Structure 1
Amino acid sequence: MTAYQTDIAGTESASDGTLLRDPRRPQPKYSLRKAYGHFRDLLKDKEETSHVFKIFESLPSKHFLPRVRALTLSERGEQLRAEEPFLPPILDDHDALRRLPRGSVAHAYCDFMESEGLSAAGLAAEADKLGNPKYGDLVEWFGFRQRDTHDLMHVLTGYGRDGLGEQCVLLFTHGQSPSHGHLLIGYAGALNIMKTVKSRAPVWKACRQAHRTGVACPPLVAMSIRELLAKDLDEARAELNIPDPHWYRECHRIWREEGIDPYDLLAKKSQPEAVAA
């Protein structure tokens, strides 16, 4: 029995009738100009997550739908949709996650989210602020799944929420799911750090390592997140080919040696200079 079907009109859908792509969904339009404008806005306020979503909307990948089709119209995709229809309730149930063994991915995830004051539901809420309509199709399920595993990627890779850490996670994500949006934010962001922070820190090496790690790591979107959370963190990293982020840690070491706070890289610049950069 196949995990999908095609109706008379040629519309692909899962065996339960869920459409691969709702025909009402607008065709994405590629605009590098819009993406760059949102990127400049993001540089001014990196906490305004909506700019990130707008960048990705402006730079749609032609490979996205084939990736959605390959996973969702498979028996594996059917199983994941049945077991993990929406990740935020799973990821935000810290009481349940804390019952998993110490040293697990789950404990590290809870530690990270609680220390940063984050939640998976909060990230979803930021995306909802864009006001985009919901279609309930497989494209939506896949897209939400990619979005909702962002902070889990921080935990697995060891990259923090500082400026460089975010660039590295986005480049790791590009290795997993290539799009020009990841490249723009990741590498242009790295260049911005190198331009505005005079230092000998190996920023470019850190970003290249993150990109290579994402390529070597199997796609998280196709994994059982419940099973991943239950794994020992070190064992999970070994299985996923995720090495210690050596060059990222070296950047932090050098910055601190130079009197630069890695979590406030523009601290020594005046506001006008920071905006101009």
Structure 2
Amino acid sequence: MLRYVASGGSLSGKVLALQQRRQFVVATALTLGGFVLGKRARLADAMERGELHNKNDDQQLKRQEEIDRRLRALSNSRPMKPRYEGHIPLYAHEKLLLFVVSGLKSYLHPEDGMNIVQLGEATAVPIFLESLKKTMLSDKTGRRILREQPNIHSDTLHMNKLSKMPKNTLGYVYYQWLKKEGVSPDTRAPVRYIDDPVHAYIFKRYRQCHDFYHAINDLPIIIEGEIAVKALEGTNMGVPMALLGALLAPMRLKKVQRDRLYDIYLPWAVRTGLSCKPLINVYWEEILDKDIDELRQELGITPPPDLREVRKERSRIRKQLKMKYDSFEAQI
């Protein structure tokens, strides 16, 4: 009897312990389930309120903040605060270094347009830009260009409209030249290293009008055509980089190319640049429907011989001479 009671007490204790463990497991499961479900519910609520953040977005925000911090540090280390969008102020020794490095690169790699761009700004000294500014201020159209500060790009020129203009208009001639050369008015680099905002715009205007000088004279963008246009710009507007290019660039050419330049295109460029009206004062965007021949007459420009045809004619003569030589060799 005593043994039975003891055994019964032990059994009831085990049952009690088992019940307690079950209660603990159930309570734990309910707590864990409530935590998971509650977390999901909180995430859903946060998503609905737009408070949920993406880790990638946070990382991107941190990177942008770091970039902004570095830009502020760079700005604080400059000789002045930027005076227009994209302006990078340089110290005097940095401008000198830019001139030396871009000059060497332009001579060794003239095919890289960025070298020419940097050399142009490095040589655009204030005295030249101020002289060009006075030229514009002395002319009614030049003053209006300075006041309105137009930009030349595809949207303002309405390229589709130019393609439908009469064939002898400036707009159509310009459009066809761009198409033939495979270039666009949108490829001109912005000005960065010129400190005065007005000077910076004048240089940008000169740079954006460069293709018009090519088009009205039908000069291609091969190196001989570029040198001829640079010589025209240098003598007409006094652009230092253009004068340097006209003087030094021919040194890298073949003899036949130099002969063509010295005999035909450089004399034409110098004569035309000195005698024609200041090209910086032409509001090209407003005269796109003008007859090209009348415009040339008004500006005092007579186009040079077609450079493409001159090169083709020389190539044709060389082929004829080679054929005659080969025929003579075969007869011997």
Aligned runs of 1:113-152 on 2, under 5 Å? 113-124=178-189, 127=190, 132=192, 137-152=197-212
Cα distance in 1, alignment partners of residues 224 and 135 from structure 2: 32
Contact 1:39–1:185 under 8 Å retained in 2: no
- For the pair 1:58 / 2:122, whether they are aligned, the reply is yes
- Structure 2 residue corresponding to 1:157, chosen from 217, 228, 240: 217
Cα distance in 2, alignment partners of residues 96 and 38 from structure 1: 39
- Structure 2 residue corresponding to 1:209, chosen from 249, 268, 282: 268
RMSD between aligned alpha carbons? 3.4
The alpha-carbon distance between structure 1 residues 66 and 27, as it changes in their structure 2 partners (threshold 3 A), is farther
- For the pair 1:256 / 2:321, whether they are aligned, the reply is no
What's the TM-score, normalizing by structure 2?
0.59
Cα distance in 2, alignment partners of residues 246 and 185 from structure 1: 21
Deviates more, 1:171-180 or 1:104-113: 171-180
- Structure 2 residue corresponding to 1:37, chosen from 104, 109, 126: 104
Contact 1:176–1:214 under 8 Å retained in 2: yes
Contact 2:154–2:186 under 8 Å retained in 1: yes
Contact 2:219–2:225 under 8 Å retained in 1: yes
What count of residue pairs does the alignment treat as equivalent?
A: 230
Deviates more, 1:200-209 or 1:138-147: 200-209
Q: Deviations over 1:165-187 (max 9, x none)?
A: 11101111112211331122123
Instruction: Structure 2 unaligned segments of length 5 or more: list them.
Output: 1-82, 320-332
- Structure 1 residue corresponding to 2:171, chosen from 88, 96, 106: 106
Q: Deviations over 1:124-177 (max 9, x none)?
A: 3xx46xxx2697822222111100011111011121112211110111111221
Contact 1:154–1:160 under 8 Å retained in 2: yes
Instruction: Show the counterpart of 1:188.
Output: 248
Structure 1 or 2, whichever has the larger Rg, is 2
How far off its partner does 1:92 sit? 4.5
- Structure 1 residue corresponding to 2:305, chosen from 234, 246, 249: 246
Instruction: Structure 1 unaligned segments of length 5 or more: list them.
Output: 1-18, 261-277
Identity of counterpart residues, as a percentage? 19
Query: Which structure shows the higher helix fraction?
Result: 2
What's the TM-score, normalizing by structure 1?
0.69
Q: Deviations over 1:13-61 (max 9, x none)?
A: xxxxxx9xxx995577567644530222333xx1x21111122233234
Task: Name the SS of the counterpart of 2:109 in structure 1.
Answer: helix
Q: Which has the higher contact order (CA 8 A, sep 6+)?
A: 1
- Structure 2 residue corresponding to 1:237, chosen from 293, 296, 320: 296
